[in-house]
Structure 1
Amino acid sequence: MRIQLSIVSFTFLIMGWACQPKEMDERVYTGDLLIDANEQLTQVIVHDIFSPPVASRIYAYPSIAAYEVAAMADPSLQSLAGQLNGFEEKTYDVPEDVFYPLAALTAYYQVATALVFSEDQLENHQKELLKSFRSALSTKAYSNSIDLGKEVAAHVLDYSKGDNYHQSRSFEKYGLTGIEGTWQPTPPAYMEGIEPHWNKIRPFFLDSAAQFKSTPPTAYSKDPESQFYKEAYEVFNVHQTMTDEQKDIAFFWDCNPYKMNIKGHVMFAEKKITPGGHWMGIAGIAAKKAQLDWKGTAEAMAYTAITLMDGFIACWDEKYRSVLVRPETFINQHIDEDWVPLLQTPPFPEYTSGHSVISTAAANTLTHLFGEPFEFVDSTEVAYGLPTRTFPSFRAAAEEAAISRLYGGIHYRPAITEGTKKGQKVGDHLLVKVKTRQENLAEKR
């Protein structure tokens, strides 16, 4: 990434330095506090058990709010207002005595708190965070910064209310068709299909949920000579011959936010990070390695988050169009009634693979921001009892995430290959439609 310092931006920075506190934790100027905020949000999302599509929405709006403040602080950054679907531009009366890092964090926490159930967890963390700012800033600068953050948050929350999410909470549940080859709830909990109307949520930069419609899945057939049967048998066969490395890959990318366990007569849930949460974690890891300041970190988080949300919208559009049966159901009925996949089958139709779509899209975005190769150590899953994994690039991580679904026994191969294609198209479209850098605006026009 290049940052060109013009006379205007130099003057702007001089004005900003005039109100900088004399003593402040260095982490305020790096992206660490925003990364911490994202990690706190992840913990709340895990605690509240939000589904992967809903979680992507919860990550997106706070990240947009923090980035909008960064765009005010850095003239080389372009506001997302006027670029994202339905996000109107707003003029803010910004006082000279304002500390932008505090305003950005305030905006992030204000929006995040409004989107979760366990608001107290985020509120308590924010209160602790504010103590260091209160002691280092003048009363005026502190108050102005909080007020600006809240004003930006209010604008973003107003924007969020128009995405059809709240209306979709009252839409009818998915009704099973009873047609052979269509999706059925799977053991052990036999949960109903989640978010069957997610394609009705307003995307950020896609023209519509169906903009990059996938080719139809392989025609269903239980004939052992058919292509579909062979694809199902591949899933079954991989499970029989799996290496320890393949198992490790499957578990590392499981990202099932609500895994049900049965012990005797007791059923209990194991909560874990969502796929989107994993990639938001990777964005934070990359920002730290690249030693981005808080503005660059806000850019990376927002760009990644909107990619993830539109990726889920595009993926879910296909899932409930094709409503394809999962390997577990087919294999139990036609190959081996006792077969159990390595990973627990998630409660929604098979085609296409969500991991393949959103991982490829996110990797495309992060590669645009950080370049390639960009080696990183992915420690996102350490908090959930798994070791780190090292990747030479974001694309390599996305490829592993995609194939992990075959190893886990929850996807046929076409869902992975076609999901990867869709994710690439979503990621490419983001780079055409949404620009964060002023020097790229000529391309957009």
Structure 2
Amino acid sequence: MKIKAYIIIFGLLTFSWSCQEETKPIDISSEDYHQMVDKVTEVMVHDIFSPPVASRIYVYPNIAAYETLNQNSKSYKSLANQLNGLKDITPEKVNINKNLRLAALIAYLNVAKELVFSKEKITSYRDSLYAIWETNNLAEYNNAKGYGLAISEQIINWMQDDQYAETRTMPDYNIYTDDPSQWEPTPPAYMKGIEPHWNKLRPFVLDSASQFKPVPHPKFSLQEDSEFYKELMEVYNITNAIRKKGDDCEEIEIARFWDCNPFVSVNKGHFMFAEKKITPGAHWIGICKIACQQTNADFEKTVYAYTKTSIAIADAFISCWDEKYRSNLIRPETLINKYIDTEWTPILQTPPFPEYTSGHSVVSGASSEVLTEIFSDNFVFDDTTELPYGLPMRSFKSFRLAAKEAATSRLYGSIHYRAAIDVGLEQGIKLGYLVNNNLSFLK
């Protein structure tokens, strides 16, 4: 009997030791975070979110992940009491040995699923990861999950006070006006103005949507010697000159590379459908990913880079949209078709909102300044962001040069006057300076 008892005890101990050997810490890398951001981008493209709304979908999950990582970090500071309206974060009291990287991923997904239409896509992706983590180390997973959800719920509560929900019930932009300078819907879909109340959202770092109110655009005039008319004719003449070069010329390649218009309507016979693309903010999020991977940034720096970049992008849209619906400037396409050439069409499809200032210019200026501060000036990189959408890679010697090309692309695309591009880029650069100087991330 004693021999049998020893055998049973030995067997139980052997089973216990083997279980302990199979239970390993859950290893989370920066690539896991990149994949998560890519998944959210994929869902946003599927749901066809407008550029301003897409910026909101990026920023809150990144902040949730950042705050989950950095409540007691030796290297990074919490953004509580730095971002508008974000008060002290109260960490959940869980085991001190929690896996913060894992908790950050859980926090990111918990916020992201609240921001998209296709919640089931995020939930399915989340559940597949949960199943893997549970299998690998149930105790570590549960501990991290409790912490990540606790932090992310506080971010969600803060997020819900940003006035986004209130703007969903506000009236559409009124296109009925006798003012010839005012924006009108453009072909082929003649869509209504997108997000006319975006300036009412709570900004993140800006003291108000109008903090960097740009100088007025050149006074509207169809007199041939006026500055405005000269800019209008510049768009017309450049487009005609580009078309003579052919579809494979560099100007058209640049225009298409930076198009990032999620509202492109394609006509096939009697049918019209949307050609799905990323937004300008998503393009710069993609550049952030490239910089992180190229420098082998660790998990913590990767989350920091995404968070800071997405904050700059979000405030850039609030700042730009504030001016767009203040000036309500008419697009070149409308004026050229009315007064110059009824057969003329732009290189790119005109986006459905007023012209001044250029959203690409503002977002690119802000993003490039933030990324330059994180990764240094003269950062040489190959931009492969558009490869999934059938566009070739372009190479840049710095983020600032990429931003300048992105801004200029709007002239090559025939959808902006020069003032909107130049002033918009300056507007974005000022915003990037503000984010760099007013937010303290590093200890």
TM-score above 0.5, yes or no: yes
Q: TM-score, normalised by structure 2?
A: 0.91
Of residues 313, 337, 340, the one that matches 1:335 is: 340
CA contact (8 A) 2:25 2:140 kept: no
Q: Which residue of 1 aligns with 2:409?
A: 404
- Provide the secondary structure at the position in 2 that maps to 1:269: strand
Determine if the alignment matches structure 1 residue 358 to structure 2 residue 354: no
State the one-letter code of the partner of 1:392.
K
Distance in 2 (CA, whole Å) between partners of 1:175 and 1:146 is 47
Aligned-pair distance for 1:24? 4.8
Query: Which structure 2 residues correspond to residues 271-350 of structure 1 after superposition, within 5 A?
Result: 271-350=276-355
Q: Cα deviations across residues 298-341 of structure 1 (Å, max 9, x unaligned)? A: 00010000100000000000000100000000111111111100
Q: Which residue of 2 aligns with 1:428?
A: 433
Distance in 2 (CA, whole Å) between partners of 1:169 and 1:227 is 38
Between 174-183 and 152-161, report the one with greater CA deviation: 174-183
Q: Which residue of 2 aligns with 1:240?
A: 240
Q: Which residue of 2 aligns with 1:108?
A: 108
Aligned-pair distance for 1:379? 1.1
Aligned-pair distance for 1:120? 1.2
Say how many residue pairs are matched. Answer: 414
- Provide the secondary structure at the position in 2 that maps to 1:377: strand
* Rg larger in structure: 2
Query: Which structure 2 residues correspond to residues 10-409 of structure 1 after superposition, within 5 A?
Result: 22=24, 24=26, 28-29=28-29, 31-72=30-71, 74-92=73-91, 93-137=93-137, 139-176=138-175, 177-242=177-242, 243=245, 244-409=249-414
CA contact (8 A) 2:68 2:152 kept: no
CA contact (8 A) 1:74 1:295 kept: no
Between 89-98 and 391-400, report the one with greater CA deviation: 89-98
Aligned-pair distance for 1:131? 3.5
Distance in 1 (CA, whole Å) between partners of 2:86 and 2:440 is 14
State the one-letter code of the partner of 2:180.
E
State the one-letter code of the partner of 1:164.
Q
State the one-letter code of the partner of 2:368.
A
Quick one: structure 1 residues 81 and 94, their matched pair in 2 at CA, closer, same or farther if it must change by over 3 Å?
Answer: farther
Q: Could you list the structure 1 runs, at least 4 aligned residues long, displaced by more than 6 angstroms after superposition.
A: none
Distance in 2 (CA, whole Å) between partners of 1:89 and 1:280 is 27
- Provide the secondary structure at the position in 1 that maps to 2:206: coil
CA contact (8 A) 1:258 1:269 kept: yes
Determine if the alignment matches structure 1 residue 416 to structure 2 residue 421: yes
Distance in 2 (CA, whole Å) between partners of 1:165 and 1:186 is 26
CA contact (8 A) 2:70 2:76 kept: yes
Q: Cα deviations across residues 74-114 of structure 1 (Å, max 9, x unaligned)? A: 32100111100000112212422311111000000000001
Identity of aligned residues (%): 49
Structure 2 residue ranges without an equivalent (≥5):
1-22
State the one-letter code of the partner of 1:60.
V
State the one-letter code of the partner of 1:311.
A
Between 347-356 and 88-97, report the one with greater CA deviation: 88-97
Distance in 2 (CA, whole Å) between partners of 1:358 and 1:126 is 30
CA contact (8 A) 1:73 1:100 kept: no
| CA RMSD after TM alignment | 1.2
Distance in 1 (CA, whole Å) between partners of 2:84 and 2:408 is 32
- Provide the secondary structure at the position in 1 that maps to 2:113: helix
Distance in 2 (CA, whole Å) between partners of 1:69 and 1:252 is 35
